[in-house]
Chain A
Amino acid sequence: MTEYAWTWVAIVGAGVAMWLVKALGHRVPEHALEHPRLTRIAALVTVSLLTALAVLQTLVSGREIVADARIPALAVAAILLWRRAPFIVVVAAAAATAAGLRALGMA
């Protein structure tokens, strides 16, 4: 199978898996999911994955760790999030910062 076909398999697989995860909570008796270890791990996994994705997306190119225009862009995003700016503004400002610095040849 081609890479394109495998991507389709992964998309449908991810969709089915997500539906099953969502269904789990609706199906099981309440006490079964109230185990503190489970709720603790679910919360930590979410925060860790999102943080790792943000860090890697900022610092990694291919398999190399590099410092470029993405770092100031993420700093701008962090300031805007701290100032409670809407999500779409944060994302657009980060893109504009990186694009602007690159256009000016600064990073």
Chain B
Amino acid sequence: MGVPVLGRLDRARQQAVSVSVATGAYALSFGALSTAAGLDLWQTLALSLLVFSGGSQFAFVGVIGAGGTPALAAATSTFLGLRNGFYGVALAPVLRPWSGARAMWGTQITIDESTAVATAQPASDPAARRAGFWWTGVGVYILWNVITVLGALLGQRVGDPATWGLDAAAAAAFLGLVWPRLANRTALIVAATASAVALALTPFTPAGVPVMVAAVVAVIAGWPTPRRRPGMPTAEAEVAP
């Protein structure tokens, strides 16, 4: 609408471009927060290139910034990215068969956004689903990494992060990432409990440990089969656009 270049693309590709731009913009805050947490430009860029999962990257630098060990940062990042493991299952019917470089890259760009745009296309149109996946995944990958560098350069000039409210910005970033997933009541209760436990442990445990305990609380809460079916989150439902 009003953008001539976008107007020439079909629906899946238009969505892919808009989602890429919107998501790429988060990378500015990631880059700034990462260098403010003490990582250098190359480490910050490496996180975006290699990990390439927004929430996990924010968590990694959050743990480092709080004084946690690198090992705990990596563990928290991986735990938070476990949901990416389920996206391949949803995507497999339209993406398979694939192999070689295509499979390697396709795996790397299997994230919230590419899955959301792909699965938002009609199931009867596998070509649109494939286009949605590749255009969103590649679009986000390029913009995410370029804008990460801009954010990191910005963050290096900041000095004391608190003066600029960057500590509050990190909290707001986590809140923004979890917001679309809080619609589910069970998830809300488990998340509140996990947070309370993590907060209670904070004075007594090394940085990074309370966050891992929050993950353990979620595993324990999710283990028993619920008696009443409705309201439990599923991998499909948690794909936030």
Establish whether residues A91 and B173, one from each chain, have CB atoms under 8 Å apart when the complex forms: yes
Number of A-B contacts (CB under 8 A): 333
Stretch of B3-11, B22-30, B118-126 that contacts chain A: B22-30
Establish whether residues B194 and A48, one from each chain, have CB atoms under 8 Å apart when the complex forms: yes
Establish whether residues B85 and A11, one from each chain, have CB atoms under 8 Å apart when the complex forms: no
CB pairs A–B below 8 angstroms (27 shown): A7-B39, A7-B73, A8-B43, A10-B70, A14-B73, A15-B49, A16-B50, A17-B74, A17-B77, A19-B50, A22-B88, A22-B111, A26-B89, A37-B225, A38-B86, A39-B234, A42-B85, A43-B187, A44-B186, A52-B214, A64-B203, A70-B171, A91-B169, A92-B169, A98-B165, A98-B167, A102-B162
Establish whether residues A30 and B178, one from each chain, have CB atoms under 8 Å apart when the complex forms: no
Establish whether residues B165 and A77, one from each chain, have CB atoms under 8 Å apart when the complex forms: no
Establish whether residues B219 and A45, one from each chain, have CB atoms under 8 Å apart when the complex forms: yes
Interface of B is mostly: helix
Q: Which residues of A contact B (CB under 8 A)?
A: 3, 6-19, 21-28, 30, 33-34, 36-60, 62-65, 69-70, 73-74, 77-78, 81, 86-88, 90-100, 102-103
Asked if B60 is at the interface of the complex by the 8 Å CB criterion, the answer is yes
Establish whether residues B222 and A41, one from each chain, have CB atoms under 8 Å apart when the complex forms: yes
| Residues of chain B at interface, number, CB under 8 A | 105
Apart from A18-B78, A49-B214, 19 more pairs, CB < 8 Å: A7-B73, A14-B51, A14-B56, A16-B50, A26-B103, A43-B184, A43-B232, A43-B237, A44-B186, A45-B83, A46-B181, A47-B233, A48-B191, A50-B80, A53-B174, A56-B198, A57-B167, A57-B171, A97-B168
| B83-115 near A? 1/0 per residue, CB < 8 Å | 111111111100110000001001110110000
CB distance from A76 to the nearest CB of B (A): 8
Contact among A21, A90, A92, A96 with B78 in the assembled complex (CB-CB below 8 Å): A21
